[in-house]
Amino acid sequence: MDETRLIDAARRGDVQAFNRLVLAHQDRAYSFAVRVLGDPDAAADATQKAFIAAYNAINRYREGNFRAWLLRIVHNQCYDVLRRQQRHPEPSIDAITEENESPGFLIDPEASPEEQLEQTEMAAAIEHCLQALPDGQREAVVLCDVEGYDYVEIAQILAVSLGTVKSRLNRARGKLQECLRGWQELLPGRYR
Amino acid sequence: MWNWARDLTKSAEERRAERITAYVDGQMPPADLARFEAELAADAALRERVEALRLLKLQLRRLPAQRAPRNFTLDPARYGKPAPAVGRAYPALRLATALTALLFVFAAVFSLRSAGNQAPGAVALAPTSAEVAPDSAVTRLYDEPAAALMIEETVEAADARLAPPPIAAAVAVTETVGVTQTEAATLMAAEAVTETFAISAVASVTETAGVTETEVAAFVVLEATDDAAAAATLKDAPAPEPAPRVAPAVWLLIGLGVLTALLLAAALLARQRGW
């Protein structure tokens, strides 16, 4: 896929060309959104809105990292959702934990039943601890440790400095380690 | 940009933890890498922290992949050509509009404060109301006994302080020698001028009595012309000139307001057209 050519076509109003970009990036965008928001439905809505916003703003995209530009829009959409949630708070963490304990949401279908159970428990603990982090720290750790972006891309996506990225990552990991220590009794032996 | 300032506020432990994070993420500058690895070889606690962090990263990386529950493609029938890119004119116009609006606000506040601080200016701003309805103004003042008393006292004090003895003497002389009414009027006009300097003092008194500055101005002028000669003063003396500073300030405000409106319209147009 020639991304530059598709972007140029989308700029001229070729929606099908843009849709090819959507298909290439939608899993990554949704994965980021669902881990930031902790709610699959809200994440799907945010991702859809982000792609619409990206299409409308594609003429404002300059040369550079398209993936980072796209995830920046997803990040903005997620923050809109989080702001709305703060105005109308809901007991989201409990709901997320219950959701995350659902095997269909988390487990690798190729693993054995025992491994699936272990993965589910570990993943539930991590997801729970992720959701307990402040939004900025959660985004940084999801982008770096879950999605595998480097510091420069994370700084572009979150529109913060490299120093802020390092600081958020450091704090987020410290809190995650502390939180997971509280879950150790519930975790399989090999994760302790 | 401000990383150096943030670094100054970090504790030694925070800096140490960030170095561990950078090392585990493979983001440590090569210059620091050798030194950190030497520290790592010598410090078992540091090795333990590095291992704990690596384990955490591994656990996070093992989280199941999240696949999109559906395709997020757009319907070609519903979405036309994307919006044009915003050109360079729009940000410049937006900035110019903001600056002009700010200047307008500052000019308005400055003009209002200047007008409020200068009582003679207030007299000059509304000379017509004093001329048109002096009777009603004086009547209102006399209806407020406390205010009238205070004003009389203030005017007398101002007379004693400001009116130079030669003028008072000249008035007395004109009464004795029986000069013409016009000559007396001229002298009384001079006396009335000295009284206008007491307006600022009167204004402070009237604030407590609830009377406007315009009414006070009218009162002071009439008070200075109690006798027949003073009446002639009112009739013959030319109307007070408006304060020279007021007109340019008003024109400046109008100009800035028009400029702000024009710039705003241009900025909106530039955004709409993508200039």
- Write out pLDDT tens, residues B66-97: 899 999 999 888 887 887 776 667 788 888 99
Residue B64 in 3-state DSSP? Answer: coil
On whether the pTM is more than 0.80, the answer is: no
**What is the rounded CA–CA span in Å between residue B27 and residue A166?**
10
Interface test with A, best of B16, B60, B61, B88 (most A CBs within 10 A): B60
CB atoms within 10 A of CB B72: 21
Residue A159: left if φ>0, alpha if ψ -120 to 50, beta else—which one? left
Q: Chain B within 8 Å of A95 (Cβ-Cβ)?
A: no
**What is the rounded CA–CA span in Å between residue B193 and residue B188?**
9
Choose among B64, B76, B79: nearest Cβ to A106: B64
**What is the rounded CA–CA span in Å between residue B254 and residue B197?**
31
- pLDDT category at B270 given cuts 50, 70, 90 is confident
- Give chain A positions within 8 Å (CB) of B60: 126, 141, 145-146, 176
**Mean pLDDT within A138-144:** 94
**What is the rounded CA–CA span in Å between residue B73 and residue A23?**
7
- pLDDT category at B122 given cuts 50, 70, 90 is very low
Tokens of B238: 């030319």
Tokens of B206: 């009237």
Q: Dump the DSSP string for A7-41.
A: HHHHHTT-HHHHHHHHHHHHHHHHHHHHHHHS-HH
Q: Which has more pLDDT, A179 or B232?
A: A179
Q: Using the CB atoms, write b or e for B146-159: b if 16+ within 10 Å.
A: ebbebbeebbeebb
Q: Which has more pLDDT, A78 or B2?
A: A78
Choose among B60, B71, B76: nearest Cβ to A26: B71
With CB atoms and an 8 Å threshold, state whether B79 touches A52: yes
How far does chain A reach from its first CA to its final CA, in angstroms? 43
Q: For residues A147 and A118, is the Cβ–Cβ distance under 8 A?
A: no
Q: For residues B42 and B34, is the Cβ–Cβ distance under 8 A?
A: no
**Mean pLDDT within A57-79:** 91
Residue with tokens 């925070």: B14
**What is the rounded CA–CA span in Å between residue A77 and residue B251?**
47
**What is the rounded CA–CA span in Å between residue A178 and residue B225?**
90
Question: Residue B157: what pLDDT?
Answer: 58
**Mean pLDDT within A60-71:** 89
CB atoms within 10 A of CB A125: 22
**What is the rounded CA–CA span in Å between residue B261 and residue B93?**
12
Instruction: Give the nearest chain A residue to B64 (CA atoms).
Output: A106
Q: Within the 45-84 window of chain A, which residues sit less than 8 Å (CB to CB) from chain B?
A: 47-48, 51-52, 55-60
Torsion of the alpha carbons at B208, B211, B213 and B216, rounded to the nearest 10 = -100
- pLDDT category at A1 given cuts 50, 70, 90 is low
How far from B245 is each of B124, B214, B242, CA to CA, in Å? 11, 19, 9
Q: Dump the DSSP string for B178-215.
A: T--HHHHHHHHHHHHHHHHTTHHHHHHHHHHHT--HHH
With CB atoms and an 8 Å threshold, state whether A119 touches B17: no
